């Protein structure tokens, strides 16, 4: 690659042997992320007064971004989409545009509660082959996953099953390649532990103690995308475990855990709920949650049942 002329996202997609419509969908989200960035910048931080299916207050921005994605998908003419569902909705939208083959499960604005304090936030996209329902294991349906991280830089990380790649937005808005085929460090230096410590189960507490004894440093922002991204870049472990009062943890299987699991696995890592591979799980409902451990095998195997 010529460092004075870094490869653009669209070029990477077309040289990476990705099916035509899937390529167009991924490029569509790269374009759409620019509008999402604009909305974040325009955000007036006021709440919409609506509540999503998890009983959380929605920021106006969540609603705006969710609607923006739906409208753009519905009007897109260069590819078809079967179903669209997002973390902000309790129903699947059957777009069926041009008899589309793929479906989208999106977390339009992950970590939106961090907007007020100006920490990094993200958008998570999972592309499934076929309809969302009947539910099937992620490993059978998920053909691509991507996230956008709106931080000091806006970055795009994606996998279509052939490695995990990172792009950064340049001064004129193009995503240009910065890392191809990212591989997780075998042993990292940081741990990112979700959930209140006094709600952890003994097995998880002991695992975290071991990481601390091994001099892992605590790095946790409370935004899944930045927290996962730092593990991808620096090595280490992200956890959001089962809790005494929440056996399924907090994170949503379809919208958060499976897409990030696909990205981490494609970078040579492991994604588990502590017992099973995240991508082998079949959601039973749209809002299903799961405990999540993302890391290398070496790091997570201390926790996994022998
Ligand atoms: O699910 C939304 C989310 O904000 C994730 O982005 C993040 O990983 C998690 O919740 C943080 O949860 P907590 O506030 O319990 O640390």
| Tens-digit pLDDT profile for residues 215-241 | 999 999 999 999 999 999 999 999 999
pLDDT over 90 percentage in the chain: 80
Cα–Cα distances in Å, from 54 out to 95, 121, 282?
24, 19, 20
CA of 224 to the centre of ligand 1 (A): 6
Instruction: Choose which residue among 218, 240, 255 to substitute to test ligand 1 binding: the one with the highest number of ligand atoms within 8 A of its C-beta.
Output: 240
| 183, 159 Cβ separation under 8 angstroms | no
Residues of the chain with pLDDT under 70: 1-3, 44-59, 305-306
Q: Which residues line ligand 1 (CB under 6 A)?
A: 110-111, 194, 222-224, 227, 250-251, 256
279, 265 in Cβ contact below 8 A?
Answer: yes
In whole angstroms, give the CA distance from residue 239 to residue 66: 27
Q: What is the pLDDT of residue 186?
A: 86
Nearest alpha carbon, ligand 1 atom 13: 222
| pLDDT for position 3 | 62
The number of the ligand 1 atom at minimal distance from the alpha carbon of 227 is 8
| Cα 305 to middle of ligand 1, angstroms | 26
Q: Tell the burial category of 8 from Cβ atoms under 10 Å away from its Cβ (0-12, 13-18, 19+).
A: middle
pTM of the entire predicted model: 0.94
- Taking CA atoms only, the protein residue closest to ligand 1 atom 4 is 111
Name the residue of 61, 87, 114, 222 whose CB sits within 8 Å of the most ligand 1 atoms, as the mutation to test its pocket. Answer: 222
Tokens of 228: 């996962």
Instruction: Please choose from 249, 250, 253 the residue to mutate so as to test ligand 1's pocket, defined by most ligand atoms within 8 A of CB.
Output: 250
For residue 36, what pLDDT is reported?
A: 96
From the CA of 252, give the closest atom in ligand 1.
Answer: 1
What are phi and psi for residue 104, nearest 5 degrees? -120, 130
Atom of ligand 1 nearest to the CA of 195: 15
Q: How remote is the CA of residue 169 from the centroid of ligand 1, in Å? A: 25
pLDDT at 140: 97
Task: Determine the atom of ligand 1 nearest the C-alpha atom of 240.
Answer: 8
Nearest residue (by CA) to ligand 1, atom 15, is: 195
Q: What is the largest CA-CA distance in the chain?
A: 56
């Amino acid at each position: 690659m010529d460092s004075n002329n870094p490869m653009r996202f669209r070029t990477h997609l077309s040289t990476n042997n990705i099916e035509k419509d899937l390529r167009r969908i991924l490029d569509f989200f790269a374009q759409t992320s620019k509008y999402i960035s604009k909305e974040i910048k325009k955000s007036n931080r006021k709440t919409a007064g609506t509540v999503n299916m998890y009983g959380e207050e929605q920021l106006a921005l969540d609603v705006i971004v969710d609607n923006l994605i739906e409208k753009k998908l519905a009007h897109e003419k260069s590819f078809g989409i079967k179903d669209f569902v997002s973390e902000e909705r309790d129903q699947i939208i059957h777009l069926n545009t041009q008899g589309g083959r793929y479906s989208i499960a999106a977390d339009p604005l992950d970590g939106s509660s961090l907007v007020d304090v100006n920490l990094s936030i993200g958008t998570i996209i999972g592309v499934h082959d076929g309809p969302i329902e009947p539910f099937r294991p992620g490993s059978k349906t998920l053909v691509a996953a991507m996230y956008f991280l709106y931080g000091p830089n806006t970055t795009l990380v994606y996998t279509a099953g052939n490695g995990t790649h990172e792009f950064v937005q340049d001064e004129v808005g193009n995503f240009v390649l910065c890392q191809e085929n990212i591989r997780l460090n075998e042993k990292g230096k940081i741990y990112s532990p979700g959930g209140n410590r006094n709600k952890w189960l003994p097995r998880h507490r002991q695992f975290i103690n071991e990481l601390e004894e091994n001099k892992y440093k605590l790095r946790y922002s409370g935004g899944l995308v930045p927290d996962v991204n730092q593990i991808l870049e620096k090595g280490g472990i992200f956890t959001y475990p089962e809790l005494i009062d929440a056996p399924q943890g907090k994170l949503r299987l379809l919208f958060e855990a499976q897409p990030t699991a696909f990205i981490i696995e494609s970078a040579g890592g492991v994604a588990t709920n502590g017992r099973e591979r995240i991508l082998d799980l079949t959601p039973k409902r749209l809002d299903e949650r799961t405990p999540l451990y993302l890391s290398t095998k070496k790091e997570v195997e201390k926790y996994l049942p022998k």
